[in-house]
């Protein structure tokens, strides 16, 4: 859940000179250490410099151009990759073996797998999750770290908000998975793979609900296969590939027109009720989809 010792050392060999350079150009903090280290930099001073840095894109470019710390080319390339940073408020929703999950609860939630630098993140912000933090996420050689400065909020969350965060986390996982790398844009193949894995999660949950409803094996397989066929032969063949979470009347109408013999209305009614009961779609969309099926 954290960088290796060598990678941690490499990060700070770039980060401290960068902060020192920004401070020398902007005169933000008096008496900033000539040789900044973790032990002798006041975090509040570092935050002030960091905020100026990320709000002034030209400062990173000039640091790379003039290279005052005489960094090797590989380290300059790593510093340049930080232009793809992602900042704001996040909810740390899980501490897993591979990383801590940072959740952005936007209209379309996104989850990031973030590594600690010198220590696991639960040692920095505490083991109790969820916890809201202000942070800047940085790419680091195909992984995600933060810029060493993180500000937890002293707030607690009741059951309602915890449920909301868990729901957003599930949605993020089913839409695009947990992002373990920061880059400008995923490839078409990566997007399709993420959607396929998300649809598989939803299909497995749908199958569990069918089994729990008391259906016999034959009917269960009939309904499941009808929906699975919709996913594999239509949603995943669309450009771009489409998630079951984005099901709508136009998608169903096009599929029924193309595969009328395989499109079992009862199976899709069960799917739509499952999606609504599990809060994957809202009641308005449920109503529109059921009305469409009724008209077929």
Q: What is the pLDDT of residues 131-190, one digit of tens each?
A: 999 999 999 999 999 999 999 998 889 999 999 999 999 999 999 899 999 976 778 888
Domain boundaries 84-179, corresponding CATH code? 2.40.50
| Residue 106: pLDDT band with limits 50, 70, 90 | confident
Q: Which residue has the higher pLDDT, 28 or 188?
A: 28
Say yes or no to pLDDT of 249 above 80: yes
What pLDDT does residue 35 have?
86
Secondary structure (H, E, C), the chain: CECCHHHHHHHHHHHHHHHHHHHHHHCCCCCCCCCCCHHHCCHHHHHHHHHHHHCCHHHHHHHHHHCCCCCCHHHHHHHHHHHHCEEEEEEEEEECCCCEEEEECCCCCEEEEECECCCCHHHHHCCCCCEEEEEEEEEECCEEEECCCCEECCCCCCHHHHHHHHHHHHHHHHHHCEECCCCCCCCHHHHHHHHHHHHHHHHHHHHHHHHHCCCCHHHHHHHHHHHHHHHHHCHHHCCCCCCHHHCCHHHHHHHHHHCCCCCCHHHHHHHHHHHHHCCCCCHHHHHHHHHHHHHC
> Please, which pLDDT band fits residue 85 given cuts at 50, 70 and 90?
very high
Q: What is the pLDDT of residues 40-69, one digit of tens each?
A: 889 999 999 999 999 998 999 999 999 999
Q: What is the pLDDT of residue 259?
A: 80
What's this model's pTM, rounded to 2 decimal places?
Answer: 0.90
């Amino acid at each position: 859940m954290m960088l290796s010792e060598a990678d941690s050392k490499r990060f700070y060999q770039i980060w401290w000179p960068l902060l020192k350079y920004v401070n020398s150009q902007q005169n933000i903090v008096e008496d900033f250490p000539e040789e900044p280290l973790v032990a002798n930099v006041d975090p509040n001073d570092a935050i002030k410099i960091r905020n100026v840095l990320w709000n002034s894109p030209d400062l990173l470019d000039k640091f790379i151009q003039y290279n005052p710390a005489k960094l090797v080319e590989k380290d300059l390339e790593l510093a340049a990759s930080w232009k793809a940073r992602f900042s704001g408020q996040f909810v740390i929703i899980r501490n897993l073996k591979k990383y801590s999950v940072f959740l952005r609860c936007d209209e379309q939630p996104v989850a990031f797998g973030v590594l600690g630098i010198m220590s696991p993140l639960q040692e920095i912000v505490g083991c109790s999750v969820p916890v809201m933090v202000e942070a800047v996420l940085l790419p680091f050689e195909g992984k995600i770290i933060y810029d060493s400065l993180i500000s937890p909020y002293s707030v607690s969350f009741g059951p309602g908000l915890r449920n909301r965060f868990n729901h957003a986390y599930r949605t993020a996982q089913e839409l695009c998975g947990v992002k373990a790398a920061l880059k400008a844009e995923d490839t078409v193949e990566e997007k399709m793979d993420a959607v396929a894995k998300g649809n598989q999660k939803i299909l497995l949950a749908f199958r569990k609900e069918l089994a729990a409803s008391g259906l016999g094996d034959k009917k269960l397989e009939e309904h499941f296969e009808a929906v699975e066929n919709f996913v594999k032969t239509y949603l995943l063949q669309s450009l771009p590939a489409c998630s079951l979470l984005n099901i709508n009347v136009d998608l169903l109408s096009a599929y029924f027109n193309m595969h009328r013999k395989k499109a079992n209305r009862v199976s899709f009614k069960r799917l739509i009720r499952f999606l609504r009961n599990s809060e994957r779609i809202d009641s308005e969309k449920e109503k529109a989809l059921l009305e469409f099926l009724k008209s077929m």
